[in-house]
A = this chain, B = another copy of it.
Amino acid sequence: MEDSARPLTKKEIRRARERVILEAAEKVFAEAGFGGATMQLIADMAGLPKASLHYYFPTKEALYRRVVQRIFDIWLEAAGSFDEADGPAEGIGAYIDAKMEISRRHRDGSKVWAAEVMHRAPVIQDYLETTLAEWTEGRMSVIQRWIDEGKMAPVSPRHLLYMLWATTQHYADFSHQIETLNGGEPLSDAQWDEAKAAVRQIVLRGIGLAP
């Protein structure tokens, strides 16, 4: 079908190559850490010679930075669930579902983010101080409003958010431990549903919304 399709422009070729490299990089950074990852490993996984990586991304750190930004953007999108809701059961419930789904589909990205933060955020500290800080403040006041309106129990909005992040991301970051404790098998669809339901149940009841 080569002739029916318009030949790819240079920009499209570049975009496609970058995607392949980014996906390979995400996996390698997640499994080996920044220091343990080598450009050679990433190149092999992407099926490209090592020098090509340096053509598309000037340095290893620039490549890494793009990988980290990607998962952060995905999480920010999921935050939409929060804003569109007019009550905690709906808003927090949907947020849990969205974040659990991300943990399932983007575990490598989540791990890279976790490692970055554990190492004191050498490349995304500015995001923490600006975008994340603003997002957190906004969501904390939404929760506080729900509390003031008597829609949920008076819990610390800040620590509730930390609990939501910790619990949902645990299923990505510690997926290897979870699989080991599941007899070495990845969670099945049913088990993922079970996990989501359990998290929703405990958290929602924990903030005074008995199911």
- By a beta-carbon cutoff of 8 Å, the part of chain A in contact with chain B is 30-37, 111, 114-115, 117-121, 125, 128-129, 132-133, 136, 153, 155-156, 158-160, 162-163, 165-167, 169-171, 173-174, 176-178, 180-181, 194-195, 198-199, 201-208
Contact between B163 and A167, CB atoms less than 8 A apart: yes
Q: How far is the CA of A205 from the CA of B118 in the complex (A)?
A: 30
| A183 and chain B: residue at smallest CB distance | B133
Cα distance, A129 to B198, chains bound together (Å):
24
Question: With A136-B181, A206-B206 in contact, do A32 and B31 touch (Cβ < 8 Å)?
Answer: no
CB distance from A139 to the nearest CB of B (A): 11
Please give, as numbers and ranges, the residues of chain B lying within 8 Å of A174 by CB-CB distance.
Answer: 114, 117-118, 162, 165-166
Query: Are B201's CB and A155's CB within 8 A?
Result: yes
Closest CB-CB distance, A13 to chain B, in whole Å? 32
The answer to whether A198 touches B155, judged by C-beta atoms less than 8 angstroms apart, is yes
Q: Could you name 11 residue pairs across A and B whose Cβ atoms are closer than 8 Å? A: A35-B35, A35-B36, A114-B118, A118-B176, A121-B180, A128-B181, A159-B199, A163-B199, A163-B202, A165-B174, A205-B207
A37 and B176 CA atoms in complex are apart in Å by 23
